[in-house]
Every structure is written in C-alpha cells, then in structure tokens.
Chains A and B, each alone.
Chain A
Amino acid sequence: MSEVVNTALEVLERSLDRRLVAALEVCARCGICADSCHVYASEPKPEHVPASRAERVRAAYRRRHDPIGRRFPWLVGAADLTEGDLDALVDTAFATCTLCRRCTINCPFGVDTALIMRAARAMLTATGRAPEMLVMLADAAIARGEQADEFREVYREMVAGLEQEAQMRAGDPTLRIPLDRAGAELLYVGLSGAHTIIPAAIIFHAAGADWTLSMFEASNYGLFLGDPAKAKAIARRIVDEAVRLGVKEVVLTECGHAYTALRWEAPNWFGGPLPFQVRSIVEVLADYVRDGRLVLDPSANPEAVTYHDSCNLARNGGLIEAPRVVLRAAAANFVEMTPHGKEAFCCGGGGGLVAVPEWFEIRMRAGRKKAEQIRAAGAPVVATSCENCNLQLTDLSGYYGLGVKVTGLMELVVNALLAAKRRQALPAAEAA
C-alpha cells in the first residue's frame, strides 16, 4: 500500500464516528435518491446517483471493516483503495457534489451522503489532491489572520472610503462604519467587496444598531476542504476578534457556507458553544422588519422577485421563513420558486465549486435544473442570500439566456429603505 493511500485511509479512520458509520452501512442502494440530486437531474448518469457517489468510500470502508468485505470483497462491493480511486474521487467529492444534502432529506433511510463526501474531501486534502484554488484561498485567509496588525491600517483607510460611499448612497453624512469598536453589541462580518459592507452599514444605521465591522471576511474555505484544522484556524480569527471586542453576537453577511461554518460547525471545532450568539444578517433583517425598526417601501422593488434558498442557510441551517419575511416587506411582488425551502434544488455552485475556474462548465451543466426553475418562476429578479449562489445564478442567467437580475436581500432592503426615507422626506420638504 502506498504512502498516499495509507494517509487517505488514516484520515478516513479518524473521520469514522457513529453518524458516518451509520451513513456508510445503512444504504440499501435502492436508487430512489437519484432525482433528488441536481447533478443527476441535469445529467442523469449512473455515477451521479448519490448512492453511487458514496460507493468509492464505502468500498474502502467495507474492505477494512466488513467481515465479508475482508474475505470476499467482490461479493459486497469492497475494494482496496488505490491512488487511481483517489484521483477519481476528486471529481466525485469536489466537482460534482456540493454537499447540499438534498439527497439526505429525500432518502427513506436519511443517509447523509454529504457527510461521506466531506470525509472523502478530507482524504483528498490530506493527500494533496484538493483543488489548488480552495487550498490557496484557505491558506490566504489564515495568513491574513496571522498578520492582522499589518492589514489593520490599510483596512481602516479602505473602510473610510466605503463610509463615504455609504453616506452618499444613504444621503446621510452621520452614517458611520465603526471598525474595531470594543463594547459594540454586534460584530458584522462581511466578505471582501464593498457590496457586502455598504448595504449593511445603511441598514444598521437606519435600525439604530450598535455595531462594529470585522477585520476579516466571513468565508471559510477550510470547510470546503473538509479540513477541520484549517477551518478552525479561519474561524478563530473571528472568534478571537469577537471575544476581544466583547460583542454579544456575530452577524454574518449573506453567505451560506460562512453560516454553516460559524453557526453550526465552529462549536464542534472549538469543543463547545461559542461565547456569543451567531446569526445571519437574514435573521437580523427579519427581526428588524418584524420589530418595525426598518420602514420599507416595497414599491422601490416593483418587479416580480423570486427567491433561491441557499442550501446552507435553508435545508442545512433552518433559515426558511426569515428571508420570506424580508422579501414580503421589501418587494412588491414576491413569487416562490417550485420547489423551495428545504426541498429547493442546489444552484450547482456550492461546496466551493464557484471558486474553481476550471469547473465552470461542470457547474453550468449541474445548474440546469435551477435554471429551469428560475425560468418557470417567471420573475425578472432572483434574490438570494449567499454570495456563491449569487455568482452561480448570475453565470447561469448568462449561460442559459435567462435574462434575470440576481441580487442579495440586503440590496433589495436598502432600495426599499431609501425609497421609504425619500417618501417620508417629501411631505416635510413640501411643507417647508
């Protein structure tokens, strides 16, 4: 057995716990999961059936752990893992599975194929087979955390520029983007890019939130790699910052996997609940709407808007109603896609696929089902609360000629917020 295979098997052994073993053992290969996978639905090949996808890992597991698999491997589909298997697994676990878990909710046994694929990703990462881009992005995030002090002044200057932009857009020179403010109620973590910071600043200002902006970005490529050590190192930057500033909660921008990483997985990496609450901006927006802290004018978004549920936020995070509360308040005509919520199809860009340029064609093909759904919904605007979904849906619109505009919830809220503000200001101006 080669060193590489040995390393992969060691990682598999470390990953084995009751949940994973149950998922490996219980599958009866009935194949009923097939159509639930967006990749299979778009390209119905045997290797795209979720049950089949997990078989490479199962074969290696059975070879080592099943009494029949050890003696009569051909009978139970057991096989020694080879370097060739690992090469093939890259496609199976990274390129054609987004860990969306749609197969899991559709399986009569509840087989967690994403858990198996995450173990496969861990095996591939440990043997140097993970996509270079994902490794690079994870390492860059860790390096930024290690050299935070060097970035601080540059970032402060950049944020000052964003503050001016936000003031101009909101028409309010009193708007501030606080950075590094100890004692704030909430720490907002955006992504690299003004589009996740300016709308949030306008919203927090309007809602009178006591907030401060994080030095770091929310994304966590360690999660995609199935590498808990890297994922923890990336999450630690935000955890340490939140603890240092003494905030009560961390609010993550519109990013599906960042939510999974910090809200659900980080407590596992750190060995217990984090000393602050973690919420998505989607939940915060819904609360602001429910509490009347934001006055919105939905006529500012007059076109029909449909909503794409991010798998991380909805099916795997439970944020199904919150975005709808926001959309019903911020858009004049909200129409549902079919299916939606926990049954929504993955857009095909999750699991890190969007970040890997050479997989463009794969993710476009995998997104066909979503493109059909968008077309059937008939809305010219598609809202989503995930940056990766946003990128994928924008690409799908071009690829399939959908002609839709893809936007985030915050953007729609800011439109509605500023329109309401203008409307309120109008009578006052007329009276003056």
Chain B
Amino acid sequence: MPATWAALLVAAALVAVGGVAIRLRVFLRYPWRPEQAPARGSAAAGVRYAFTAGMAPWAKESTRIHLPAYLRGIVLHTGIGAGFLALLFAPWQAVVPAVVRWTLVGSVLLGALAGWLGLAARLTERHLRAVSTPDDLFSVALVSAFLTAAAAAWWDARWGPAFYLLGAATLVAVPLTKIRHCIYFGFSRYYFGLFYGRRGVIGGVQHE
C-alpha cells in the first residue's frame, strides 16, 4: 500500500475513533435513571437474553415474518466487519493465505449485495422510502460501495485506490452519519435487557 493511502487511512481512522469517543463522552454525560421499583425478574438474565437468544431471528415476530430483510441486515453487517478487516490487512494482501483471502472476498461481496438490495428496498418500498432520510440512503450506498470496492481490490489489486478512498470515507462517516447507530447498539440492547429482565418479561427468571 503506498504511503499516501496509508496516511489517509490512518487519518480517517483517527477521525473515526475521535468522533466515536466524542459521541460516547456526550452520551455518557446524560443522566442514568435506573428503575427504582423492586425487580420481579433478573436484570442480568434479561441482559444475557438481549445479547444472545433475543437476537435470534425466531425470537421476534418481526424477524420471523421478515426473515429475508433480517438476514439481509445480518449479511450486510457481517460484510462491514469483514470490509474493515480487509482494510486493516490490505498491506499484507499478498501474503494472506488463500482461504482467508477468499473468505474475506466472499463475505464482503455478500455484504455488498445485501447493501445494494437494502438500498433498492429503501428506494422502491413505499413505507421504507417514507421513513428513510437522505442520510440513510447515503450511508447504505457508501458502505455498499466500500464493500464492493473491498471485494474488487482483494480480487484485483488495481482496485486498491478506490477501496482505500471509500474505506477512508466510510471511516469518517462512522461518527457523523447514520452508521453511528453502531455506537449506541450495545447500550440500546443493554437497556432493553435490563428493562424487560427486571420486569420478568424476558430471561426466564422471576422473583415473585
């Protein structure tokens, strides 16, 4: 990887880390108001459920009836993870074992496909279009392009510049665009598990 691209990517990564840190600092400055009522169930069991069985597609009616959309999301997010790994290991692309290389290419390619399909759904499905903001369309398009470029660059190194440029753009976009939902995902699931676990609705433990 040429030094200029490496410098750009490091700068973009610093913007991402800094942006995420600022977001987290701002978020944690808000008060935490835990429920004061005695628990009926177990908060710990609820949180465990929220991050494990509660994530399974069969755990929710919405994901049972919209399984393709749910799987599309899972594939996209797995692809994004693979895309960042592909970016991280790009300097050692030539020495990466073939099995790892093609696993990465497969994951990012599937992720890209899921992303483009998701974008098409946002543009064509009336209700999805109505709830989408320009940021939603931009963010999905950006990560889909990033993943497409990742697959292309790991297939053929001549696509490297496009991959690095889109990688840098995606990194910068993490704290600034809708992609930032990844920062709050853990908190949101944690509060979900805490709320319903304490109330004995999920997690299977009741005290009363």
* B200 to A, closest residue via Cβ: A318
**Cβ–Cβ contact B60 & A342, under 8 A:** no
B61 sits at the interface (CB 8 A):
yes
Known pairs A108-B70, A273-B36, A273-B37; A44 contacts B134 (CB<8 A): no
B98 sits at the interface (CB 8 A):
no
**Cβ–Cβ contact B62 & A26, under 8 A:** no
- Sorting the interface of chain B by its residue count into under 10, 10 to 19, 20 to 34 or 35 or more gives 35 or more
B130 sits at the interface (CB 8 A):
yes
User: Which of B2-10, B85-93, B150-158, B189-197 is near enough to bind chain A?
Assistant: B189-197
Residues of B within 8 A of A76 (CB): 133-135, 177-178
A282 to B135, CA, bound (A): 48
Contact residues, B188-208 vs A (CB, 8 A): 188-189, 191-193, 195-196, 199-202, 206, 208
**Cβ–Cβ contact A110 & B191, under 8 A:** yes
**Cβ–Cβ contact B30 & A17, under 8 A:** yes
**Cβ–Cβ contact B35 & A268, under 8 A:** yes
Q: How many Å from the CB of A62 to the closest CB on chain B?
A: 9
**Cβ–Cβ contact B181 & A109, under 8 A:** yes
B81 sits at the interface (CB 8 A):
no
B159 sits at the interface (CB 8 A):
no
Residues of A within 8 A of B32 (CB): 17-18
A265 to B36, CA, bound (A): 8
Residues of B within 8 A of A65 (CB): 26
**Cβ–Cβ contact B37 & A35, under 8 A:** no
Residues of B within 8 A of A108 (CB): 55, 60, 62-63, 70, 73
**Cβ–Cβ contact A30 & B189, under 8 A:** no
Q: How many Å from the CB of A102 to the closest CB on chain B?
A: 9
**Cβ–Cβ contact A111 & B133, under 8 A:** no
Known pairs A18-B31, A108-B55, A110-B191; A32 contacts B69 (CB<8 A): yes
* A34 to B, closest residue via Cβ: B127
Chain A 259-281, CB within 8 Å of chain B: the 1/0 string? 00001111110111100011100
* A268 to B, closest residue via Cβ: B36
A272 CB contact (under 8 Å) in B36, B41, B66, B195: B36
**Cβ–Cβ contact A35 & B188, under 8 A:** no
* B37 to A, closest residue via Cβ: A267
Q: How many Å from the CB of A314 to the closest CB on chain B?
A: 8
**Cβ–Cβ contact B184 & A46, under 8 A:** no
Residues of A within 8 A of B103 (CB): none
Known pairs A46-B130, A68-B177, A106-B62; A21 contacts B201 (CB<8 A): no
A27 to B37, CA, bound (A): 28
B165 sits at the interface (CB 8 A):
no
Q: Could you tell me which A residues sit within 8 Å of B by CB distance?
A: 16-19, 21-23, 25-36, 44, 46-47, 49, 51-52, 55, 65, 67-68, 74-77, 104-112, 263-268, 270-273, 277-279, 283, 314-318, 320, 339, 342-343
